[in-house]
Structure 1
């Protein structure tokens, strides 16, 4: 009986094994994960779970019993020791597993602070997995003082939750503005003002010199010489593709595990999907870090493992919840040269990115209609008249008819 093994039990791995069964694969499936719990959602970790509004079991993508009912063997809490593509073997827990096909859905690893500047002190937290949040949660309490390092979405979401719990929050960002890598200055301005209105101190063009403390962190010295007293630190400086196992096995690496258009790696029996994988896109290579990409790319890989031979055509979308604002993003703004802003009298706002006359992406803040219309246009390869977008008297649905 053919055996498909999947290394990495996050959103991508869980989506891939479910797709295999949905598409009729009746061989053996083994899903291997380093964490001791079934696959779970990561986005709520730094939001509802940290706020105490969601129980751990509600994070699970499927009940543990579902995997057994569908003939999927879970190997949780097992870190793979070696991958040997020539023999089609995986070594874990002193055991050798043979596979006929393998999928790598290993996700990404958080960037850590170097020990030389205090990154090994106690109460310095990441926000990548369930264990990180469980350890951090007791420290997120009224009156505590937190330093958050990094002004991307990870850092901003952590800041929003901490401030909502009464923590005194200082957020630092080395770049000239928050969200500089991913959004226009207008979106940065919107979220800077939102956080400042909720009591967060945001320091841009400011880095970390070092953390202070003997065992646990007690303070921080910033790049401008400022000294802060802190009770805990959240490191939100981004993630890196978890490509080490693939690299050691001799697979091609290029901004993650390099795949072809059908999610196949440089080894014909090995596929990859999710945060760890890059794929051909517009003459270059792209790696996306999102739930949407994890699901869609994993399902494409599963289809191609079963011989369907379809290319992966991403339709990027993202979201972020901060305080009472839901940010929804459609498309990718790479290469934009013009931004159009739309506002209404109810507080909805959206930023529309254009390259020439072509609509590339939309940032929608509490504007679900703007997001929906923008996404449909972008997914269809269509565009819209910027002047009509900016005019609040124009019904956005009319743009779909243009």
Structure 2
């Protein structure tokens, strides 16, 4: 294999490039990224980046974006890659091993790592001024500019998942009036179960954020010459006044450009347990990868899958599988929520340290007398210990 192309200058894409060099690949390496930025860290976009103080002139402090960078000049030189930034992929021809790019250029390559990530789901209909999604650095800049227009704003966050909750917490910290709208009876029930989701939902009320659950959104109202958002209309007819709206209702894997390629597409690029597609010279990692029947949208999965995918790409077949323990975290209202494990609907949570009233506790999920998952609010050290215990039973299997 003399040339490898990584499609996606993402977290997974960067870790794939690092893994290629770390595993001894010394051929031509190309990284194609639709955004004009080198790989950056996305989790702070909904937290530290939104709340970072502005510069002396009121403009964005350049250091806020610089702190997101995942590479430096030394690493860029060591990777020795051809970075095609601000360039998207439009088509893939596996038979001829060619990629078509938005610039009109065509690349021929021996191996491909798909790391194109996902794009945020949007509400149907037009998006008036003042309505936002949050996925990219440019999304965060646009939202931050709207939140800095002056005075207290009425902010409505549609979706109470991790992104929505983090944005709500940041907006509340900035002094805005915030309402979170969640279609489910409680946010995070699929991830945490009803009992623990209820405890986490209390964080909103603790900080003056209104939580409206069990209702969906019919659409956005707007007015004025600039067609700016004025309200969110709920399905029950209620109107929530809004100066700024942030929609956080999930993502879709970025696979439209792969239609017609022959690769199996079903909620992502379908891969085996080693992140390998039916074409052994094409692997996938991160939010776009549907690995062995599941797709994980978390920071840790993106980094771990990349190393497995590259190992198998260089081997020419699946010799290593990815079986890491699911893990995610979220920072909301000064509370770090951490979860690890495989929770099933019937698993029973039991608090073993701390108390919910203090918003600091450790809980085990149990099934038939054994621990299946662990949840912590501001209990990082004991959580790490239990996470390691669970991980020992789910270490990646290696057969070569």
Q: Distance in 2 between matches of 1:195 and 1:110?
A: 23
* Structure 1 residue 124 corresponds to structure 2 residue 143: no
Q: Distance in 2 between matches of 1:162 and 1:248?
A: 42
* Structure 1 residue 71 corresponds to structure 2 residue 83: no
Q: Which deviates more, 156-165 or 79-88?
A: 79-88
SS in 1 for 2:191: coil
How many angstroms does 1:140 deviate by?
2.1
How many angstroms does 1:263 deviate by?
1.2
What whole-Å deviation, never above 9, does each CA across 1:266-307 have from its counterpart, x for those lacking one?
222111011111122xxxx11111111000000111111221
What whole-Å deviation, never above 9, does each CA across 1:199-251 have from its counterpart, x for those lacking one?
10000001112211131111122122222211010001011111222333120
Q: Distance in 2 between matches of 1:187 and 1:168?
A: 26
SS in 2 for 1:218: strand
* Structure 1 residue 106 corresponds to structure 2 residue 116: yes
How many angstroms does 1:130 deviate by?
0.4
Q: Distance in 1 between matches of 2:168 and 2:141?
A: 17
Q: Distance in 2 between matches of 1:8 and 1:315?
A: 24
Q: Which deviates more, 31-40 or 1-10?
A: 1-10
Q: Distance in 2 between matches of 1:198 and 1:335?
A: 30
Q: Distance in 2 between matches of 1:15 and 1:70?
A: 11
Contact 2:354–2:362 (CA<8 Å) still a contact in 1?
A: no
Q: Which deviates more, 329-338 or 205-214?
A: 329-338
SS in 2 for 1:203: strand
Q: Which deviates more, 242-251 or 291-300?
A: 242-251
Q: Distance in 1 between matches of 2:140 and 2:162?
A: 16
Aligned to 2:3: 3
Q: What are the equivalent positions in structure 2 for 1:141-220 lying under 5 Å apart?
A: 141=148, 142-214=151-223, 215-220=227-232
Gaps of 5+ in 2: 54-62, 395-400
Q: Distance in 2 between matches of 1:228 and 1:291?
A: 33
Pairing partner for 2:307 from 299, 306, 328: 299
For the structure 1 residues 137 and 73, does the alpha-carbon distance in structure 2 shift closer, same or farther, using more than 3 Å as the test? same
Q: Distance in 1 between matches of 2:376 and 2:116?
A: 30
**Structure 2 length as normaliser, TM-score?**
0.90
Q: Distance in 2 between matches of 1:335 and 1:300?
A: 30
For the structure 1 residues 159 and 247, does the alpha-carbon distance in structure 2 shift closer, same or farther, using more than 3 Å as the test? same
Q: Which stretches of structure 1, 4 residues or longer, exceed 3 Å deviation after superposition?
A: none
Pairing partner for 1:365 from 343, 356, 377: 377
Contact 2:374–2:386 (CA<8 Å) still a contact in 1?
A: yes
Gaps of 5+ in 1: 383-402
How many angstroms does 1:258 deviate by?
0.6
Q: What are the equivalent positions in structure 2 for 1:3-402 lying under 5 Å apart?
A: 3-52=3-52, 55-64=64-73, 66-92=75-101, 93-115=103-125, 119-141=126-148, 142-214=151-223, 215-280=227-292, 285-307=293-315, 309-344=319-354, 348-381=360-393
What whole-Å deviation, never above 9, does each CA across 1:19-55 have from its counterpart, x for those lacking one?
1111111100001000001001100110111111661
How many angstroms does 1:368 deviate by?
1.2
Q: Distance in 2 between matches of 1:60 and 1:113?
A: 30
Contact 1:67–1:73 (CA<8 Å) still a contact in 2?
A: no
SS in 2 for 1:172: strand
SS in 1 for 2:279: coil
Q: Which deviates more, 364-373 or 137-146?
A: 137-146
Q: Which deviates more, 47-56 or 192-201?
A: 47-56
Contact 1:67–1:74 (CA<8 Å) still a contact in 2?
A: no
> In angstroms, what is the RMSD of aligned CA positions?
1.7
Aligned to 2:397: none
Contact 1:338–1:356 (CA<8 Å) still a contact in 2?
A: no
SS in 1 for 2:331: strand
How many angstroms does 1:335 deviate by?
4.1
Aligned to 2:58: none
Q: Distance in 2 between matches of 1:376 and 1:338?
A: 20
Q: Distance in 1 between matches of 2:255 and 2:73?
A: 27
SS in 2 for 1:328: strand
Total equivalences in the alignment: 375
What whole-Å deviation, never above 9, does each CA across 1:344-373 have from its counterpart, x for those lacking one?
277521222122223111110001133112
Contact 2:34–2:87 (CA<8 Å) still a contact in 1?
A: yes
